[in-house]
Amino acid sequence: MSSLPFARLLVAIGVVLQLVTASVVGGQVAGRHGDEHSAFECTEDGLTRQGSTGLGCQLLAKYAVAAFPDAPLFWHVATFPTKDAAESAKGQIGFVADAESKVWLFSFGPKDAAPRQGAPIASVGPLQLPSARSYEIVAYFVVMPAGAQTATHTHSGPEAWYILEGTQCLETPAGESHAAAGGSMVAPPNTPMQLTNPGPALRRALFIVIHDASKPWVSPSNWKPTGRCLR
């Protein structure tokens, strides 16, 4: 075999590897080093995955809320055997979602307001709400490969995560924070951020953003992270 075809083969393999290391969060995918040219937006009407790799994000719900209780707010996560059972336990503010072949109930209220039925998974918070006339909750399920990073971005409300598998590292101007499977994380509104899966496994996670309904739920940011999450 001549050296020229072999060199071309190596280049092709390199391109494939770069594509596989794309990542997802906040409705966007970016290359390993935050290459905006590879970014795309998750569709808001269902599932977006990268071919047969299974990587990508799935919109679970967009849920309108006129107002929240005047108390520290928490995101309560539970699973149920059926949708009917989850719907009956929903309470005043909440919705039912399907992800990972499970029925999930996401409900919102004070820390002691978690549903008493089903299998409780987590209560994540408190969530710092911006002042707004009304709100929208956006919820996603995400599968993110090891070594991948999001583009830098902000949300017009708090973001919260529950990690199902793997790990994540969040860098903001305040520093970095880490969470692993079975753990959770919260970020305040209008915070520039970059989310990374430092590996070595796939990261599977649920996340929500509660934002001012009159503003976009996610926006690009010019803030430059240090990249500590991959060091």
Which domains are seen in the chain, by residue range?
3-68+133-230 (2.60.120.10)
For every residue of 173-188, DSSP letters joined together read TTEEEEEETT-EEEE-
What does each C-alpha distance from 142 to 100, 150, 208 come to in angstroms? 10, 12, 11
Q: Model confidence over 13-40: pLDDT tens digits?
A: 333 333 233 333 333 333 333 333 333 2
Question: How many CB atoms within 10 Å of residue 183?
Answer: 15
pLDDT value at residue 25: 36
Which of the two residues, 137 and 115, has the higher pLDDT score?
137
Instruction: Answer yes or no: is pLDDT of 211 > 80.
Output: yes
pLDDT value at residue 166: 96
Q: Model confidence over 119-135: pLDDT tens digits?
A: 999 999 999 999 999 99
Q: Model confidence over 43-97: pLDDT tens digits?
A: 454 445 555 457 788 899 999 999 999 999 999 999 999 999 999 999 889 999 9
pLDDT value at residue 103: 98
pLDDT value at residue 10: 37
Helical ranges in 21-140 per DSSP H: 83-88
Handedness of CA 230, 221, 165, 182 (dihedral sign): positive
pTM score of the predicted model: 0.81
pLDDT value at residue 46: 43
pLDDT value at residue 13: 33
Closest residue by Cα to residue 194 from 141, 128, 133, 150: 150
* Mean pLDDT over each residue of the chain, to the nearest integer: 82
Q: How remote is the C-alpha of 223 from its chain's centroid? A: 19
**pLDDT (mean) for 5-11:** 40
